[in-house]
Each structure stands twice: as C-alpha cells, then as structure tokens.
Structure 1
Amino acid sequence: MPAVHPPLPPRDRARLLAGAHHDPHALLGAHPARGGTLIRVLRPLARGVAVGGTELIPEGDGLFAAVLPGAGAPPDRRLTVTYPDGTRLVTHDPYRFLPALGEMDLHLIAEGRHERLWEALGARPMTHEGVRGTRFTVWAPNARGVRVAGDFNGWDGTGFPMRSLGATGVWELFVPETGPGTRYKFDVCAVNGTHTLRADPLARAAECPPATASVVHESTYEWGDAEWMATRAERPPHRAPMSVYEVHLPSWRPGLTFRQLAVELTAYVRELGFTHVEMMPPAEHPYGGSWGYQVTGYYAPTARLGPPDDFKYLVDALHRAGIAVLIDWVPAHFPKDEWALIRFDGTPCYEHPDPRRAEHPDWGTLEFDYGRREVRNFLVANAVFWCEEYHVDGLRVDAVASMLYLDYSRPSGQWTPNAEGGRENWDAVAFLKEMNATVYRRCPGAITVAEESTAWDGVTRATEHGGLGFGFKWNMGWMHDSLTYMSKDPVHRPWHHGEMTFAMVYAYAENYVLPVSHDEVVHGKRALVSKMPGDWWRQRADHRAYLGFMWSHPGKQLLFMGQEFAQGAEWSEQEGPQWWVCDPGYVAAGDHLGVRRLVADLNAHYRAEPALWEQDSDPGGFSWVAADAAADNVLAFLRFAADGSPLLAVSNFCPLVRADYRLGVPAEAAAWTEILNTDATAYGGGGVVNGEPLKTEPTPSHGHPASIAPTLPPLATIWLRPA
C-alpha cells in the first residue's frame, strides 16, 4: 500500500485547477516526501491512474497521488490511465521532464535578439530525455497561467498546465507522444481570471480557415535549389534585370494547390520571361477578402493551398526554373480576431498599450508595439524565417508609410507626438533598420522592398549611413503620375506632359521599382487597359505603348496578373484573371494574346539588353533626348549599359503617325536597328514599323552631333539600338 501523502495546499490546488499556476511542475510529477517519493498526477475524467503497477489514490477533481516507497522515482515512470468506459492509456507523464528550452534561448529571448525565434517558441517535435514528443512554448508575460489544449487531450487543457520560465514571460511544456499533425491552442488565463483559447503566434502550420487551430509541423522537405541559393548573391540586385509578376496565389487559377501552382505558374512565368514572382501575402489569414494583408499566422503558409512543405515545393520549382521569389510581408498591423494576437495574455502584448497608437484608423486593425523588444524580435525573426526556412529571395514590406508616421491617417488631436514633438515613429524606424540589417546580414542575395509613398529620406540608403536599409522602394509617384497622364485623351496630354517626365527629377534619390500592382486595378480604379481613353483599339495601343515605356524607364518593373494580357475587368479575388479572353473561341482572343506576346518580348529584350537594367541606380545610365516635346506627345531617351552601349526608347502617345521624326543620337553608331515596336501586327498593332536600319546622319539634334529620323507609330513605343 502507498504511504499516506499530504494533500495539496488549498491555494495551490485552486490555482492549479483554475489554470492559473505559474509552476505546475512543483505540484505534479515526482517529489521527495516522508516515507518515499510523492507522485501526483492531474488527469480530469480519469477513473484511475497507476504508476509502475501502483494505483494512485484519488484526491478529487482529477487529481491522483500516492507516496511510493524508496527514494527517487520508480524505474518505469509511465502512467496507466483508465477512463470510465474502460479505455486504458499508457503514457509518459509530462511533469517528469526538465525544461526543454535552453538557457541561451531564454537569454536571447529576454534580450529580444533571438534571430531564429521560431526554433525556441511554438510547437517543436523533438526527442527529450529519450522520449519523443512535442515541446510547446509561448510568450505570455502577464498571464496568470497557460495550458495546452488539443487533439491529444480532447481540447481540455486542465491536465496540461505549462510552467513559467521566469522573467522572460515564456511558458513551456513538453508533451510526450504528440507529434506532427496534432491540432492545438493555448488556453491563456488572464490577470482577471478569464480564459481564452489562442492560436500559437509562432505556429508553423494552421488549420484551413475558417478553422483556427494551430497544427504541429515538422518539415521533411528536401530542397533541390542548392545551386540557386549558393549563387544568387553573385550579382548585385541593382545591376541585374528585375521584371516582377505579381500574383495572388489563391485566385491566379482558383482551386490550384501549391503543388499544382508549382507546375502551372512556373511554366507560365518562364514562358513570359519574368525574372521574379511576387506573391501577395502567403502567411495564414482568416479572411480571404483581405488578400492576405490581415495576418494571424505569421510563421505559417496558408493552409488553403496545402501544407507548409508544399509551399517549399512551389518556391523550389520556381528557383529550379531560374525565377526568384518575393513575398509580401505585413509587419504594419494585425487583425482583432479574439483567438489570435489581440491582448494575447489579457493585456496588450503585440499591440501598443496606448489605444491611440494601437488602433489602425484605415483597416480596423491593430499596430504592433515596435518599441517592445519581444515584439520587435517576433517580427525581425519572422522576416529571417521566410528567407531561411522557405528560401524566398526577398520581402516586399507592406504599408511602410503607416509605420513611419505617428499621425498617419489620424486627424489632429488623435495622435501623440514623439519625445521631440515630431510625427516620426522612431520605434518603427529602429525596427525597420534592424529588420533590414538582419536580413541582409543573414541571407546573402535576399532583398527587401518598401511600399512607401512619402518623401521620407533614405528609404533605400544603408543603415550605416542613416537610412532605413531597404534594397528597393516602390515608386508610387511614378505610378500615379504616369497613369494620370495615360488616362487623358491624347488631345489633353500636352498639358500633362510633366507627369511623364517628373519622375526623372528624383529617379536616383532611391532605388526604385515601378509598380502597376493589384492596388491599381481594384475598387473602381479599373483594369490597366480600361484606364486608357478611346475605343478598344486605342485602349490596347495605349496599353502596349505604356508597357513599352515602363520597361525602358529607369527602375525595375512590376506588373499584376491579368494585365499582361489586357483583361478589361477589375481583378476579383473570387474569380481571378479573365483567362477566357485568351481562349481561341473568344472573338477578341487575338487582341489579348497579342498583348501577352508583347510582354514576353519585352521581357526577352529587357533581359538581353544590359542598357535597360545595369545602371538603373546610376545617373550615367540615362539621358533625355526629347523631354520637352509636349505638343507632339513624344518622349525619347537613351539608356546606357556599364560599357556605354546605348539603347534609344521613343514613345509616341499621340494617335498620329509621325514620319521622319528627328532624334539626336550618339555619333559613334553608323546605323540603328528597331528591336521592338509595340505597334507590330504580332501584338495587335497597325504594323507601322521601321523595318530597315536607320542610318545615322551628321545632322545635330537634341544636343547630339548626329541624329536619326525614324517613323513613330501612333500610340506606340519603339526601342532602337546600334546596328
């Protein structure tokens, strides 16, 4: 018979059963006692529990205990748990194990410097003290207690309270015999005693929405892109071609999984010649209509399209096809779903404690508290996570402007100035600098791109020189101005000519990407081709001419899906691109296929012509030829490769043919050949082309000692280079 054992003190018992005890391991498991070793187990709903053949004595409320003779725990510490229906479960006791999280991990977490945080927090399958199971860890600094609930315990976390690991705010529990595929949440007890079930902020996988549980994940994927990863840093990205196809994965071809996309998307992008794919946020998000921009699972690819290893398969397939992968990353805000990050432990953890700083006025979401080291660590590590674990080649950081300014979208009186009385959010600035510096240090060849729409100085300047440290910045000014110009009827364009030239005033202030993104083809803004004035022929011609201008302008290019074949309708995340307009049976299929053929040729010529990308960030790579031909609606400029090789780009945004239009060129070339013409019949144009090389004439023009006189097709862009 087991010896008489002392009962739990009433206060400890109450806290333990309420899920509000900071150290359940001090009460449960094996402990020295008078007459031997006290074993205490908490198994709600069990009829009986035995250890090493000895039945424990029921104490009520699912507690069982006994003092076994002899010092130390019995050799066989497994529990035999019997339930009222006769079911027997033989399992290891979670409370026999020492913490499975190391002191160095805790030290780095406390400092906010754990750059591989996902290896310390979350659910990690492992072998601990010779037993296979899963270590659950979570940061909840102000919780009274935290328990794990999931498949393995009938979603009743009463018998699985976690221990607090001191001042770090981290809670930990190793649960034997649980592994990949287990669904779980954290049962968090707030200071006021209320409980909420929370998804794991660092879950590596999640249930498919609308379900919200986290899922234990252990990757078994074997990468095939070793050569890509080893060599991607060899060419500086600013001196390399970069033509980006922006895609919303769930709607690109609705119904396709990550693995199916790996076949179809890869083949399509390779056929069109884009160098990069940019994916709208692939992280888990509960509301599909947010397009991924309201994230709840920062460390989990969305389960809508398949398990995490299948997302790796997609990235791997793109890499093996020579295509780089960028993802949209959303550190500016998070949604208010009560099972996710909001007031995670009953107090503001991830959001700012000042409601005026926490509430995002535009999107009904919450902003992160960038001044809190644990939050900054959560986000910086997340940026590294996608680059290291999923091999992505860069992050396009969403809504940077909303992070930089305390008064962003806030009227007077609704925001608090910084310590100097200004509007700059210095906590966010420090976070962005740390994130960029960390990504560039840890992930050779990876890039970061800021969606930033203001005149903040030094967005793409290195952090050591006082900048934010981004590699590139979206040129929202160029996008807005150029689309405004294109929306005007040609008769009115002369009065808007400066909107096409102004971007060159500041073109080298930052390293720019020229974006025609999803934001420009939704919410009443119309598809790109539908922004153009006039009838269908003129709209298509303008569309083609604009793409030719965009591809030749300094800066990298980004085009949203569907615009590469001039779909006429706005994008819908329910329907995706209008692929049917390219079907042979559609009456205008040839028109759309012609535009798609142009995009493929633009990309092919672009990649083959270093003049179009090698000096994007160098003023020596560009020279105006005709910047002031407003009355003619003509723009002409030279681009230069690093070795001085030129390319002449000319856009005629007037519906008239302009024959023998004289343009100054360098005298060194004897003749110039037209290599691209957006009016070619293959693209659906009228076929006004310069078929023969144009001889360079000793007639000075536009500040050059020589010139050529090409015919400019109506509403078209042409590219010429020395023959």
Structure 2
Amino acid sequence: MDATDRGRLLSGAHHDPHALLGAHPVAGGVLFRVLRPWARTVAVVVNGLRTALKDTGDGLFSGVLPFDAIPEYTLSVTYGSDAYEVHDPYRFLPALGELDLHLIGEGRHEELWRALGAHPMTHEGVLGTRFTVWAPNAQGVRVSGDFCHWDGTGYPMRSLGSTGVWELFLPGIGEGTLYKFDITRPDGTHTLRADPMARRTEVPPATASVVTRSSHVWRDEEWMAYRVNRPLHEAPFSVYEVHLPSWRPGLTYRQLADQLPAYVADLGFTHVQLMPVAEHPFGGSWGYQVTGFYAPTARLGTPDDFKYLVDALHQAGIGVLVDWVPAHFPRDDWALAEFDGRPLYEHEDPARAAHPDWGTLEFDYGRREVRNFLVANAVYWCEEFHIDGLRVDAVASMLYLDYSREPGQWAPNEHGGRENLDAVAFLQEMNATVYRRNPGVVTIAEESTAWDGVTRPTDDGGLGFGMKWNMGWMHDSLVYASKDPVHRKYHHNEMTFSMVYAYSENYVLPISHDEVVHGKQSLVSKMPGDWWQQRANARAYLGFMWSHPGKQLLFMGQEFAQGAEWSEAHGPDWWLLDPAYDAEPDHRGVRNLVRDLNEVYRSEPALWERDTDPAGFAWIAGDAADDNVFAFLRFDAEGSPLLAVSNFSPVVRHEYRLGVPDDVAGWREVLNTDLTRYGGSGVCNPDPVKAESRGAHGRPTSVRLTLPPLATVWLRPA
C-alpha cells in the first residue's frame, strides 16, 4: 500500500477506505486487505477453506489469493484465543441510493431520517446496520461503538461525493448497539460525536447514540381518520400542557400511558401539549436545549415506549402536541456544535451563530442541508410518532436579526431591514411541508411580537402557521387580574384591548409553564385578596378565558389551584387533592370547574366555531370599568348566541341590567364559577331569566341578572 494512503487510512483521514480495504482483482489473483487492530490473525474463508493473511503491521492484514474473480467470502478473525467468523464490511456496495443522495444534495429530502443515521437492514443478503452521516468538512469519519470497544480505527467510512455524506454498512451490527462517529477535523484532530440523526440515545448523562428499529403496531386508526374532519381553528381546542418527567415523577412512558390519558379525558381537554420530548443533556432546561432532535428522551423509555403513550392518548380521544425547538441548540462538544470541525449547523459568522440570551447556538437557516435537517425533523415527529401538532418555540428569536442584540451587534439583511429572511423562508417551507404531508396536523407559533401574517398561508406571504400564542392577551389579562379589585377600574382596558386585534391571527390563549415559574407565582397565587378571594378570582379568570375568542391552554397544576410555583424536581402538588386535606373543597373545587368548563365549552359551538370570525363576537358591556364587569356575546355558525358575563368585583350585583338580542325570550345559566361545588358562595340565577322590552347597551331588549362576586357566568337562550 502507498505510504500516504496507509497513513491517511490509519489516521482516519481517508475519503475512500473501500478502495484500499476488501477484495480487489490484481495481477495474479485477488488482493484481500483487512484492517483489524488488536487482531492476532485474520484469514479469508471461501467455501469452508481458510487462508491466512499476512500481518503487515498496524492492524493491517493482506494477501493475494489465486482467484479469477472476487469470490463469496467471510473473514475469520482471532482475538487472543477466540476466533470469530464475520462478513467483511468493505466488500459491500454503498447501501444508500442515488436518489437519496440527490435529494440530500438539493436539501429536499423530506424523509431524511430514512437516509441518514443508523438503520438495521438486510444489504446484499446480509443482516447489519447502515451508518450514514453528513460531515462535509471532515477529512475522514469512522464508526466507533461498544462493538469495537470504542476504537473506530477498523471502521472508516467512505465519502459519497459532493453531498458531504459518509457511509458504511456493518454486517452483524443490530438493534441496541451503542455508537458515535469519530470525525477527523480539517486540522487533523479528532472529535467523537453523537449521531445528529440518532433515533434513540443512551439515558443522560450518557451521550452515545443507539441503533434502533421500531416494532410498535399503531392502534389509533380511528383517531387519525377523525382528526382530518374539521380545521382546528373551527373546532373545540382545549389544551393541557404537561412536563412529562415531572407530571408524576418517576413514571415511564408506558406508566404514563396508564394514567395520563384517563386524567386528561376526565377533565375534558381535547389535547395535551408536551414540553419538549427530544433528547437533551440537562434536565433543568426542561427540554429546550436539544441535542437529539430525532430521539425521544431516553429518561422515560424507548422510542416505541413513547409511541405507546401517544397511541394510548389517541385511543382515549386526546390529541398530542409537542414543543419543537428549531431556534437554537447547545454547545456540547459531543453534539452539533462545530460538528465536523467547522461551523456546520450553526452560522459561520460567530455573531450570527451565538444566541444572545441562552448561551446556545442558532441554526444557519440559509444553508439548505440545515434547513432540510429541520424541515424533515418536523415531518418526522408527525409521521413516525403520529404527533397532531407542533408548538414551535421562540419564533421571535428566529425572525429578527436584532433579537436581543444592541446596535453594532447585528447586520441588516439585503434589503436593509432587520428581518431574518433565511428564517422566514425556513418557517414557510416547514409549515407548507408539514401541512401538505399530514392532513389534520396543526403548527402553533410562540411568537411574541406583532409580526404580520404568522397564521396567514404561505402562498399569501404569511409564515403559514395554523395558530399563534396570544402573548399580549396573556400578559394584559394577568396584569388586570393581579390588581386589587378597587384598582381594577384603572386597568379595564387591559382586558378589552385584546379584542382590537383578536382576529389578526388564529390565537391560542396560553397560561403556560412560563407564567408559573421563576418567581412569577402560580395562577392562583397571582390573585389578590385572602385565600377565598384568590380562588374566586382564579375561577372567574378561567371562566373569562374559556369564553374569550381563541383556544385555551392551561399548564398542569393550575387546574386545581396549586399555590406553589411549578418545580421540575417534584411536579404538581397532588396531595392538595386528598379529601383528608382538601375538605372544603378548595382545590378539588377548582378542578371541578375546569372539568365543567371543558364540558360546556365542547357542547357549545358558539365558544369555538367562529373563533377567527369577527361576526362570532359582540360586546354588550365593554366599558363598565367602575363595576369591574365585562359582558359579551359569542355566536355559533347558525347565529345562536351565548352570553358571557364576568364580575371581577368582590360584591354581589343584583338586578344588573344588560342589553341582549331581541329574538331571545329568556336565558338560563349553563355555567357559574361561584357554585359551591367549585368552592364558591353559591350565588346564582337558578331560574331562566326573562328578557324585558327595555333598552340597554344600545339594544331594545335587556335582562336583569344577579352577578356573583368574583365570578363568571355563561347563559344560553332558554
């Protein structure tokens, strides 16, 4: 062997090890060359006959055997006193097709996970695993793992041309094998990296990738057919947000499948939203610093175990949303950062690459392969795990070049603006691809600015999301609710301003984990007054939230008025629901309310059918600041109304007159947050309320209601 080739091969810097290793016709026969470090002997086995190869040093064995053509052969390799008969990895043609390489090169491989990563398969009649990785800047790449005692010297991969993809088929390697890629950087140094496309990982803090195949048989056909029936912005959509590791600490995916679907179904939520489940090294990041974008966290089980949980939720009639984090990734030196020795997934400009808030790196959305990595990842979660929606984290940080940056720390785009045009194009491509391939799936943006067209279709210049979190409503309404009632009249517009822009996007109203952690207090603890008033305020607020245009999201623990902030270390304070502690019931009462809110909400199309249609809402009393009262109508598609009235004052308001539609003779309560079963005082309108021919609020007909203290009531035509 040429000394240069030998040196490059042994140092892991050769682009085509298959040209040197394996079997090759030469003058006088066939040359067999094998690289097996630490082997004592290597022999070629043909038709049961063994011929020893010569040890040429450094783990290389070779010999010319008198064959006219390359025969079917295996290798007999001896380590110590043990001999193993194995297939030679370097006798196989590439196991990745030309179409895959073409699509990868164009950045248009929508099923990238099927092409890259580790895939158990039968190749040329032999069982093994195909390893492929994108590392265009590498001098060479080797597969390393527990099968070779983490010495990858004997398993160099071949470059498949200009795509930057490296490939090696390893016979005999199967499911459960631990592996990483040993990459030779441009400067000749080595770095050992987890597979960016790994579909399974070790349990953190261990960081190896794991060869896996799925054997899960889905049983959610009924749900998958059902979910395409109605666009979600025109359907009931009530979301329970969950941090899986702390919902019931210690439970696996399969144990969660025994408990979570029943709990969520009992409360009447239509969907769960799971905080990020993709693998992450630091549990305290709650999953928002992802290293394994294609692998559900191994903390709770295997990928099939996670499928089992999703399947169980679907069979219970509950949709599954997951938090998806394409805005950034951590700098761990075994993961994506400078993956092959140079900036690859991150922007090559350090100022563009560094995320200013989180000490992480931002993706280079202008690089087609990186954009493909992320678009395919969104598709992957929807198709491989039957996920019904992606809540996309930190969209604002992606959209603006000057996000959290001072003047001089950023450069404008080609048009002189501050918009990140590459990120815009990526989000449009992601949304268009997900919706095209997965009918019934929804994408939801966490976007905190007034960016125009977040939920407008991409063919009309929008970003193409299905919904957007209404961060303005969340902030303003919590400011109002946290004020003492005597001061609320000065903040009345905090509750009404949201209707100025309520139809500019398709909105979700979020009371998420972000609002009940890090010193922000739980929902009930934000409220003023004594304990009774805090709970009453929280119940009135939830009633207002469920009747306001937009969908609802509530974080775990808030459904039963947990007083403490959320902690990922121990999760919700479930003991508060123990009747021995909660005799009144204080906490069970709030949970009863949430259950009834969802039940009535789902049965009343006026509360969800026209969430994105201005004709589905009308103020009755939007200016009753001195009374701390808000009253409005919601209408279903047929024009049938529901009357929602919130009294954020701690006094009973008797015979409170409100103008109502003149074609309704009477109204009856369908929900009242002050009922005693919710922990309230029991003030209500027990009988249908008759309409009177007396004008009020610009309407010729009105009703006189009893408004309970710190409460919301809903009424329907009697």
TM-score normalized with structure 2 length: 0.99
1:648-687 → structure 2 map (5 Å cutoff): 648-687=643-682
Cα distance in 1, alignment partners of residues 579 and 661 from structure 2: 45
Q: Secondary structure at the match of 1:295?
A: coil
1:82-231 → structure 2 map (5 Å cutoff): 82-83=78-79, 85-231=80-226
Partner residue of 2:76 out of 67, 76, 80 = 80
Q: Deviations over 1:467-502 (max 9, x none)?
A: 000000000000000000001000000000000000
Contact 2:582 2:588 in 1 (8 A): no
Contact 2:546 2:597 in 1 (8 A): yes
Cα distance in 2, alignment partners of residues 652 and 56 from structure 1: 90
Q: Secondary structure at the match of 1:590?
A: coil
1:40 aligned partner: 33
Contact 1:395 1:448 in 2 (8 A): yes
1:542 aligned partner: 537
1:234-245 → structure 2 map (5 Å cutoff): 234-245=229-240
Cα distance in 2, alignment partners of residues 570 and 364 from structure 1: 25
2:704 aligned partner: 709
Q: Deviations over 1:118-141 (max 9, x none)?
A: 000000110000000000000000
Whether 1:488 and 2:483 are equivalent positions in the alignment is yes
Q: Deviations over 1:185-216 (max 9, x none)?
A: 00011000111110000001000000000000
Contact 1:126 1:134 in 2 (8 A): yes
Whether 1:61 and 2:54 are equivalent positions in the alignment is no
Q: Which residue identity does 2:335 align to in structure 1?
A: A
Q: Secondary structure at the match of 2:100?
A: helix
1:21 aligned partner: 14
Q: Deviations over 1:149-179 (max 9, x none)?
A: 0121111100000000000000000000111
Deviation at 1:704, TM superposition (A): 1.6
Cα distance in 2, alignment partners of residues 630 and 462 from structure 1: 38
1:254-273 → structure 2 map (5 Å cutoff): 254-273=249-268
Partner residue of 2:347 out of 349, 352, 361 = 352
Whether 1:590 and 2:585 are equivalent positions in the alignment is yes
Deviation at 1:669, TM superposition (A): 1.5
1:390 aligned partner: 385
Contact 1:679 1:713 in 2 (8 A): yes
Whether 1:624 and 2:619 are equivalent positions in the alignment is yes
Deviation at 1:74, TM superposition (A): 2.8
Q: Deviations over 1:100-128 (max 9, x none)?
A: 00000000000000000000000011000
Contact 1:403 1:425 in 2 (8 A): yes
Q: Secondary structure at the match of 2:166?
A: strand
C-alpha spacing 1:589/1:362, structure 2 compared with 1 (3 Å): farther
Q: Deviations over 1:417-452 (max 9, x none)?
A: 111121100000000000000000000000000000
Deviation at 1:587, TM superposition (A): 4.8
Q: Which residue identity does 1:88 align to in structure 2?
A: A
1:502-541 → structure 2 map (5 Å cutoff): 502-541=497-536
Whether 1:341 and 2:336 are equivalent positions in the alignment is yes
Deviation at 1:588, TM superposition (A): 5.8
Deviation at 1:73, TM superposition (A): 2.0
Deviation at 1:230, TM superposition (A): 2.1
Deviation at 1:589, TM superposition (A): 6.5
1:4 aligned partner: none
Deviation at 1:575, TM superposition (A): 0.8
**Range 693-702 or range 97-106, more displaced:** 693-702
Q: Which residue identity does 1:63 align to in structure 2?
A: L
Cα distance in 2, alignment partners of residues 230 and 538 from structure 1: 45
Q: Deviations over 1:388-442 (max 9, x none)?
A: 0000000000000000000000111111111112110000000000000000000
Whether 1:364 and 2:374 are equivalent positions in the alignment is no
Q: Deviations over 1:688-719 (max 9, x none)?
A: 01101000111111122211111000100000
Contact 2:444 2:469 in 1 (8 A): yes
Contact 1:116 1:384 in 2 (8 A): yes
* Unmatched runs of 5 consecutive residues or more in structure 2: none
Q: Deviations over 1:277-311 (max 9, x none)?
A: 00000100000000000000000000000000010
Deviation at 1:226, TM superposition (A): 1.1
Partner residue of 2:241 out of 222, 233, 246 = 246
Contact 2:241 2:273 in 1 (8 A): yes
Q: Deviations over 1:515-552 (max 9, x none)?
A: 00000001100000000011101100000000000000
Deviation at 1:87, TM superposition (A): 1.3
Q: Secondary structure at the match of 1:366?
A: coil
Whether 1:282 and 2:277 are equivalent positions in the alignment is yes
Q: Which residue identity does 2:19 align to in structure 1?
A: A
Contact 1:46 1:62 in 2 (8 A): yes
Partner residue of 1:646 out of 637, 641, 649 = 641
Cα distance in 2, alignment partners of residues 718 and 71 from structure 1: 91
Q: Which residue identity does 1:190 align to in structure 2?
A: R
Cα distance in 2, alignment partners of residues 585 and 10 from structure 1: 81
Contact 1:99 1:173 in 2 (8 A): yes
Q: Which residue identity does 2:503 align to in structure 1?
A: Y
Q: Secondary structure at the match of 1:494?
A: helix
Cα distance in 1, alignment partners of residues 680 and 658 from structure 2: 23
Q: Deviations over 1:9-30 (max 9, x none)?
A: 0000000000000000000000
Contact 1:582 1:589 in 2 (8 A): no
1:5 aligned partner: none
Q: Deviations over 1:618-649 (max 9, x none)?
A: 00100000000000000000000000110000
Q: Which residue identity does 1:30 align to in structure 2?
A: A
Contact 1:473 1:511 in 2 (8 A): yes
Q: Deviations over 1:536-581 (max 9, x none)?
A: 0110000000000000000000000000000000000001001111
Contact 2:236 2:602 in 1 (8 A): yes
Q: Which residue identity does 2:332 align to in structure 1?
A: D
Q: Which residue identity does 1:491 align to in structure 2?
A: V
1:325 aligned partner: 320
C-alpha spacing 1:351/1:657, structure 2 compared with 1 (3 Å): same
Whether 1:291 and 2:286 are equivalent positions in the alignment is yes
* Unmatched runs of 5 consecutive residues or more in structure 1: 1-7
Cα distance in 2, alignment partners of residues 142 and 71 from structure 1: 39
Aligned residues: 714
Cα distance in 1, alignment partners of residues 575 and 641 from structure 2: 40
Q: Secondary structure at the match of 1:152?
A: helix
The structure 1 segments of at least 4 consecutive aligned residues displaced by more than 3 Å after TM superposition are: none
Contact 1:675 1:719 in 2 (8 A): yes
Cα distance in 1, alignment partners of residues 316 and 584 from structure 2: 28
Q: Secondary structure at the match of 1:628?
A: strand
Deviation at 1:586, TM superposition (A): 1.4
RMSD: 0.7
1:399 aligned partner: 394
Instruction: Report the identity percentage.
Output: 75
Deviation at 1:71, TM superposition (A): 2.0
Contact 1:581 1:588 in 2 (8 A): no
